[in-house]
Amino acid sequence: MKINFNYKKTMPKEAILCLKPIYDDEIPVEQPEIIKNTMQQKQKQNVREIVYESENISRRMIIVRFGNKPDSSQKKREESASKVLEKLYESNEDILYFDIRDLGNDGLDLLFGLLAKNYRFDKYRTEKSDETKLSIQTITIVSDNPEKTKTLFAQKQAELEGIFYARDLTSEPPNCLPPVAYAEKIKELESLGISVEILNREKMEKLGMTAILAVAKGSSSPPAVVILQYNPENKTSKPIALVGKGVCFDSGGLCLKAVERQFDMKWDKAGAGVVVGVIKAMATEKIPVNVVGIIGLVENMPDGAAAKPGDVIKTMSGKTVEIVNTDAEGRLVLADCLQYIQKNFHPEILIDLGTLTVETIASLGCRYAGAYGNNRKLLNELKEAGEQSGEEIWELPMGEYYARQIQSSVADIKNVGEDFCGENGAAAEFLKCFVDQTIPWVHLDIAGVSWTKEDLPLANKGVTGFGVRILYKYLINNVLR
């Protein structure tokens, strides 16, 4: 449901439902007695709804207490959304007046959280629950400087648009969005000034993208590679390149996954969704950055024509790879995409994302994305962007120990390392083989953070869109530098 936003400097007299965040250690603007009483109560009830009468009209105020200002943070403000949403779902009001005069534009963090948490992928449900349906159609933000608030919130709206688009793409069932349909769908982004080029199977064969084609051999759905360019000011500087793994369904190929692990593999295209989502966010907000993205879209299925353990392929880079495990397909997809983007765009910075290894999940759980790279400055800048955005990364090791694991006796390298010996590091070393080491490069393994089996403060069960926020913040920081 689309929500309209208005901006005002004073609270209209007709306001019925008001959401008012406050700090405990500051005196609220237009402090009515009810807020005084709430703040004087000793219990730390963070969200409280008050019904009162003013000018013969019954009104409702949802008060959100963030404690003392020095103890508050963006994360705490955003994650207060869940309890507030419960109140709003019960409101049956069309208009919400959101009074942030006490917090200033810090209050927008709460609004961001409300909108992020309210997202649901329910397009295929014919009956939708009224219990989680937001009746609000208009949100009027009341602030001391409406124009500044509007500008700041526009950045957050663009970020949300990117997150929601990534969630939408990744949440699609595999039969509804196979690779070619995925590629065709994102052509709609051309209206934002994003150039979208699609490579079909024939073009990929001519280019020698044998690694992606090997993964695709077992599927009746043909693969596609999509290149997205956004450069609104036609900058001549080298672009920042983003590379995303888009395995629209991963059965494991002939090395078939266990039944209980297959269901989640409709989400194995999360890396591609993030790349598309963050570029959409940048274009929506018209951020003056030169960025190019490439996503490899493919299905990994078993079939008489499928790639087999023991096959040797020659990748687009010219390197040969022995396929030891057909379920280590994501790194093959990324390898050809990395080669294409470097050969054709000569990027200044190279960042790839994918749901790559179980070992990264075993190392970090579902709290952090794993980060691997060849450049300390880039790793530090991404870590900073992660801390600022709430999507945090943790650097994991690479090096000779892991590189030895992918040595092959019949090809240049093999596509998998050793189980229980840091195979995630071996996967990163595999990708490193396809990266020009003069280019700052980071690989983000988002396997543990791309979807959730339980409700989170900013996402319900399903796809999280992790990766959009950290890259959006990194790109904005890059522009400001």
pLDDT for 377-407, tens place per residue?
999 999 999 999 999 999 999 999 999 999 9
What contacts 71, CB < 8 A, 6 or more positions away? Answer: none
Per cent of the chain over pLDDT 90 is: 83
For residue 25, is pLDDT > 90? Answer: no
Residues 293, 279: contact at Cβ < 8 Å? Answer: yes
Q: What was the pLDDT predicted at 37?
A: 66
Which pLDDT does position 480 carry in this prediction?
A: 79
Q: Tell me which of 331, 432, 469, 473 is the catalytic residue.
A: 331
* pLDDT at position 26: 77
**Can you give the C-alpha Rg of the chain in angstroms?**
24
Residue 68 has pLDDT above 70, yes or no: yes
Give pLDDT, residue 318: 98
Query: Does residue 331 carry a catalytic annotation?
Result: yes
What's the CA gap between 73 and 407, in Å, rounded?
47
The whole-chain average pLDDT of the chain stands at 94
The tokens of 263 are what? 């269901």
Distance CA 311, CA 39 (A): 69
Give me the pLDDT at residue 1, please.
66
The torsion angle over the Cα atoms of residues 11, 16, 22 and 26, rounded to 10 degrees, is 50
Rounded (10°) CA dihedral 17, 21, 27, 29: -40
pLDDT score for 45 = 60
Superfamily of domain 4-144, CATH level 4 = Leucine Aminopeptidase, subunit E, domain 1 (3.40.220.10)
| Cβ(226)–Cβ(188) below 8 Å | no
Question: What mean pLDDT do residues 269-298 have?
Answer: 98
Active-site choice (60, 75, 120, 257):
257
Structure tokens at 38: 């709430």
What pLDDT digit, counting tens, does each position of 100-149 carry?
998 999 999 999 999 999 999 999 998 877 666 788 999 999 999 999 99
- Average pLDDT for residues 460-479, to the nearest whole number? 96
- Inform me whether the pLDDT recorded for 255 exceeds 90: yes
Report, as an integer, the average pLDDT of 431-449.
Answer: 98
Residue 36: its pLDDT value, please?
Answer: 64
Does pLDDT of 43 surpass 60? no
Q: What is the pLDDT of residue 55?
A: 79
For the segment 255-280, the average pLDDT, to the nearest whole number, is: 96
Q: 169-218, pLDDT tens digit by residue?
A: 999 999 999 999 999 999 999 999 999 999 999 999 999 999 999 999 99
Tens digit of pLDDT for each residue in 237-249? 999 999 999 999 9
440 or 13, which is more confident?
A: 440
Q: Does the annotation mark 261 as catalytic? A: no
pLDDT of residue 73: 93
pLDDT at 41: 61
pLDDT (0 to 100) of residue 137: 95
Fold (topology level) of 160-480: Aminopeptidase (3.40.630)
Rounded to whole angstroms, the Cα distance separating 398 from 359 reads 13
Taking Cα atoms as reference points, which of 262, 352, 335, 274 lies closest to residue 299?
262
Between 457 and 53, the more confident residue is: 457
- CATH 3.40.630.10 residue spans of the chain: 160-480
Q: CB–CB of 450/170 below 8 Å?
A: yes
Please list the residue range(s) of the chain that carry CATH number 3.40.220.10: 4-144
